[in-house]
Structure 1
Amino acid sequence: MKSLKKKRRIQVLVVAALALLISTAMIGYAMRDGINFFRAPSQLAENPPKPGETFRLGGLVETGTLTRGQGETVTFSVTDGGASVPVRFTGVLPDLFKEGQGMIGTGKMEDGTFVASEILAKHDENYMPKEVIEALKEQGVYEPPKPNS
């Protein structure tokens, strides 16, 4: 009797381990394209992305570079004070998107231009994405928001 219980217990443990292994592999496979790494313009200049790699680019919208093209196409440059990256986006920009403000875009590099599929902008006067603040601090150009009087 003990032998049968021991075999059954081992079988249950083996099946559970296989189920755990298979589910972990499936989750990893499903997430392979879902993880987008953040890069600042200076990091992009030092270490260019692989062709076709989707990533997030963040920084400040460079003043004087915002140009509206035909239809919903917009071009501008993003900077962190150390480097600047041209960006092209086709779609509707967030209402609070403007020059000199923080933004993060998701997309790919094409011929030296970041082609964004999504643009996120600040949502109030004091907000800036954490990754953008860290990148600006590394370049020494971050200025904390002034307290309201």
Structure 2
Amino acid sequence: MARRANPARLVIALAVAAVLAVFLLYTSIAGGGTPSVAPSELAGRSGDVQLAGLVVGPVRGDSHAGGLRFKLRDIGGETTTSVPVRYAGSVPDLFKVGRQIVVDGRLRNGIFVAEPGSMITKCPSKYVAKQSGDPY
């Protein structure tokens, strides 16, 4: 004689699976991010952070040999606080002085040491047409 499946067991098993799935999803999302800070908010922070700011010149060094060195300032421009940054790794094509970037890393001895490959440039928010004399 074949045994019939008990519908109550099936409902309980599905409920436990659903609770477990929600728990795993919550723990993977919550607290997994790196806090994003501006250069003026960096002082006193420890651990890894995501630094967002405006590149101010000059940009020195090589991105691979000894590392690229530049300073970041708050995007809003309300403060003149700038943070020296050292970055070694691939540099996005849009990287230049005056561009907004985001890098991951940590503050060490007053210099923000960025993780290799963590640099992201923000695209300009406004389209600017080429000048008529510009060959490119």
Distance 1:93 1:50, change over 3 A: same
Inter-partner Cα distance in structure 1 for 2:26 and 2:84: 33
Match of 1:49 among 37, 40, 45: 45
Q: TM-score, normalised by structure 2?
A: 0.67
Identity of aligned residues (%): 28
Distance 1:105 1:71, change over 3 A: same
Matches within 5 A, 1:20-39: 20-31=18-29, 34-39=32-37
- Unaligned runs of at least 5 residues, structure 2: 132-136
- Total equivalences in the alignment: 120
Partner secondary structure for residue 107 of structure 2: strand
2:16 aligned with 1:18: yes
Partner of 1:121: 121
Q: CA RMSD in A?
A: 3.1
- Unaligned runs of at least 5 residues, structure 1: 128-144
Distance 1:50 1:20, change over 3 A: farther
Deviation (angstroms), 1:38: 1.9
Larger Rg: 2
Q: TM-score, normalised by structure 1?
A: 0.62
Inter-partner Cα distance in structure 2 for 1:32 and 1:115: 26
